[in-house]
Amino acid sequence: MDEQSQDWLAEQERVEKVKHEIEIIKRKLKTSLSQVRDRVIELRENFWEDVTVNLEEMDDVIETQASIKQQAELLSERERSHGQWSERLKTLDRLKSSPYFGRIDFVEDGEQETDEVYIGIASLMDAKDENFLIYDWRAPISSMYYDYPPGQAQYDTVDGTISGEITLKRQYIIRNGQLKGMFNTGLTIGDHLLQAVLGENASDTMESIVSTIQKEQNQIIRNERNKILIVQGVAGSGKTSAALQRVAYLLYRHRITLTSENILLFSPNPLFNSYVANVLPELGEENMKQTTFQQHLEEGLGSGYQMETPFEQMEAFLTKSYTNHNEKLAGIQFKSTLTFKQLIDNYIKDLSGKGIQFRNISFKGNVLLKKEEIRDYFYSLDDTVSIGHRMDEVSQWILTRLKEMERAEREKDWVLEEVELLDKDDYVRIFHELDKEQNFNEDTFDDFIREEDQLRKLVVARRLNPLKKKVEKLAFVNVLATYVKFYQEWSQQNNQQELVPENWQAICEHSVDHLKRKHFSWEEATPYLYFKERLLGFIANKTIRHVFIDEAQDYSDFQFAYLKEKFPSSQFTVLGDMNQAIYAHALQGDTVLEAEHQEKMEKLTLTRSYRSTKEIVEFTKHLVKNGNLIQPFNREGEKPTLQKVSYEKDLLYAIMNQVGDWRAEGYETIAVICKSMEESQAAYERLSELLSSVSLITEETTTFEKGIVIVPAYLAKGIEFDGVILYNVSKEVYDQDSERNLFYTACTRAMHELVLMSIGEPSHFLHDVPEEKYEIKES
């Protein structure tokens, strides 16, 4: 038998041995689990029997409380270990199917022995708990697998750096517990394996990439030194993938102190949430919290307002439906800047001395406290104290005033009228309360009066409580009116003019017009929320310790600054691609990715694109500035096609044929990408008559499924498809240079094939692509 076959046999034997060990461990765990389960059931059933309940004396009450607490703790500890062990069982099942994917043989400097380090999605000790059969991919020693070819290598531990030599680096494909493939690898982590993984069909959810993480991605995953980590990565370079593996890494490295509840991911749209939802559970971790920035703002603004969504703004630009286009664009761009934030900060500083607008406090149509009184009280307070703290003081003052008024109110006639309308239950309750206080006894003669007092109290309290709640929430401050004054008066003053853009006057009028209708344009929502929080006291979220921002090129400097203040205890991982910056505010290139930040930060760049075939990347890289920096991964496919047609009906038939061909080839996810929602809707109406199972993706779509989807480019962000058809790339449709990034984003969604349809001549964007990079078909 040759050496290779011997190796194979030995490895096969090892897989069997590990599976056997897993079985033993599983059996043990199952026994313990069923014991715990029985114990939990027993504890729940007998909870009160095992508790000493005695409420006679104070000492007994304390003892009873302690006993209940102890019993509850015992129960919750058992429940917790039950949960953890069930999770471990699931992980063991995963390991049994695919125990590991890699191995390095490592000889530490000064040692003779070679450590065989097998790497998988979780660690595993043998049944005797003596040796590691598998190392978790996140363990310090495993980092060498991603970082080094065979030869000198090192890794960091808490006790310092360990150096040595990797004498072997091997990869495995193990499916359903069977060794299907194995090969020794050199410099990079098996192009071979990566090619096979990338050549597979697109899935309807993103998958974990732990077995093929690339060196530069590993830098992102394990980077812990900075407050802000910025990743600029070309389309398909694995930014999102690396971010999710990073979450898994952090949860593992800090498992005592960090849980998924402390991690928040801002994703580009709700659809994306479902697209990435699988990765962490696949790795045996709980999902982090996910939201979109839009959702975050909506929650902050509260009800009673209308907010433009970023997609509505995008759509309005793409369909050219803003009447005052240039002024709108200037407004959007200015309100995205830190200069605008500075202006608001200056305004707030001035408001500390004068100018905050308040509301009257009214009850049953009568003004209890005039806004002028509240204003005077506020401005009588020590102005070295922050506005937020002074607001709290005002709130306390108003509540005390309300208490006094409450007493007076109880004597009024309307109260008695309402007492008569009370439920029977209320009467019974009051009766019992008085009874408990022993107010009713044979000697008392004022029972009736006491009862009426209580009922009056109840009626007034009930009516006043909502008002008190509002006061606690500082609703007596008219934030919106104060903000409107910023545009109407404060920013119009001469000393502010050097900071504002030329057409500021028009921007102000337009802004006021919207605000008065309680409508926030997308660019207004963040500044307004920031202003509101500054005025009422910033409610910082200290639970979140890691914020991930995907598609960060879509965030303005102002939005990012706001997030930094909102999550002060958090580290930020910011991932994006300048070439995919599609929102109006980013047209001048001011995005979070390029900004310098004061905090400790590091910038990493990913230039290799993994999603698309080499031919697609060679085509798309010519569509953007600095495209020469984009490197394709070596996976071959068909050249992209430009299909020119003369009429729309030919376009529809061409799409139908193309989809038919792709379905026959076994492609499961196919997207027809349009420029706008308007175009998508029209395409959907026509194509759904010609093709079966077509669906339209809208802003509200929350689950991503296989099949044929019609989608505007801005909603396809972050997602990928086996085959992509751009609906109509004619020169009339993509005519603005500002749409270049959108066009690029759409093209880069394709994994295996890309077809551009055009009625008549195509967009001038294609003039920049050398002819040999794509096929032209005419019909």
Residues that bind ligand ATP (CB under 6 A): 194, 197-198, 207, 209, 212-214, 217, 233, 235-241, 577, 580, 610-611, 718, 720, 748
For the bound state, the minimum distance from the C-beta of residue 348 to ligand ATP, rounded and expressed in Å, comes to 37
- Cα separation, 691 vs 686, in Å, equals 9
- How far is residue 714 from each of residues 271, 611, 677, measured CA to CA in Å? 12, 18, 9
Instruction: Tell me whether residue 233 is annotated as binding.
Output: yes
What is the nearest approach in angstroms of ligand ATP to the Cβ of residue 246? Answer: 11
Q: Which residues contact 180 (CB under 8 A, 6 or more apart)?
A: 173, 174
Q: Is 235 annotated as a binding residue?
A: yes
- In angstroms, the CA 769 to CA 446 distance is 96
The rounded distance, in Å, linking the Cα atoms of 335 and 556 is 9
Q: Which is nearer to ligand ATP, 282 or 638 (CB)?
A: 282
Does 745 appear as a known binding residue?
no
Shortest reach from residue 272's CB to ligand ATP, in Å: 9
**Least distance between ligand ATP and beta carbon 120 (Å):** 16
CB closest to ligand ATP, residue no? 238
Q: How far is the CB of 236 from ligand ATP (least distance, A)?
A: 4
Question: Is 234 annotated as a binding-site member?
Answer: yes
Torsion of CA 649, 650, 651, 652, to 10 degrees: 50
Min separation Cβ 624 and ligand ATP, Å = 12
CB of 148 to ligand ATP, least distance (A): 16
660 assigned ligand-binding residue: no
Q: Nearer Cβ to ligand ATP, position 239 or 622?
A: 239
List the structure tokens of 70: 């102890």
**Residue burial 69-101, b: 16+ Cβ < 10 Å; e: rest:** eebeeebeebbebbeebeebeebbebbbebbbb
End-to-end CA distance of the chain: 60
Tokens 């008190």 belong to: 468
Least distance CB 229 / ligand ATP (angstroms): 15
239 annotated ligand-binding residue: yes
Contacts of residue 617, defined as CB under 8 A and 6 or more positions apart, other chains included, come to: 236, 609, 630, 631, 632, 633
| CA-based nearest residue to 574, from 223, 137, 146 | 223
Q: How deeply is 265 buried, as exposed, middle or buried, from its count of CB atoms within 10 A (0-12, 13-18, 19+)?
A: buried
Nearer to ligand ATP, 361 or 709 (CB): 709
Least distance in Å: CB of 379 to ligand ATP?
51
> Residue 529 or 713: which CB sits closer to ligand ATP?
713
Look at the alpha carbons of 423, 429, 432, 438 in this order and tell me if their dihedral is positive or negative.
negative
Distances (CA, A) of 197 to 52, 179, 191, 243, 635: 61, 17, 10, 19, 11
Instruction: Enumerate the β-bridge partners of residue 265.
Output: 290, 548
- Give me 766's structure tokens: 């294609």
Nearer to ligand ATP, 390 or 622 (CB): 622
Task: Give me the least distance between CB of 616 and ligand ATP, in Å please.
Answer: 12
By beta-carbon proximity to ligand ATP, the closer residue of 244 and 651 is 244
Q: How far apart are CA 553 and CA 583, in angstroms?
A: 9
User: Which of 204, 269, 271, 213 lies closest to 241, judged by CA?
Assistant: 213
Nearest approach, Cβ of residue 610 and ligand ATP (Å): 4
**Which CB, 275 or 378, lies closer to ligand ATP?**
275
3-state DSSP of 246-304:
HHHHHHHHCCCCCCHHHEEEECCCHHHHHHHCCHHHHCCCCCCEEECHHHHHHHHHCCC
Q: For ligand ATP, which is the closer residue by CB, 243 or 561?
A: 243
What 3 state SS string does 156-189 have?
EECCEEEEEEEEEEEEEEEECCEEEEEEECCCCC
Nearer to ligand ATP, 198 or 733 (CB): 198
Residue 616 class from Cβ within 10 Å (0-12 exposed, 13-18 middle, 19+ buried)? buried
Residue placing its CB nearer to ligand ATP in the complex, 79 or 602: 602
To ligand ATP, the closest distance from the beta carbon of 740 in angstroms equals: 16
C-alpha separations of 722 from 186, 608, 669, 670 in Å: 30, 19, 5, 6
Q: Which is nearer to ligand ATP, 210 or 659 (CB)?
A: 210
Beta carbon of residue 241, minimum distance to ligand ATP (angstroms, whole number): 3
Q: Which is nearer to ligand ATP, 398 or 726 (CB)?
A: 726
Residue whose CB is less far from ligand ATP, 263 or 477: 263
Spatial distance between the Cα atoms of 248 and 260, rounded to a whole number of angstroms = 9
Contact 696, 727 (CB under 8 A): no
Backbone angles phi and psi of 135, in degrees to 5: -100, 140
Annotated binding residues, written as ranges, equal: 233-240
Annotated binding residues for ATP, written as ranges, equal: 233-240
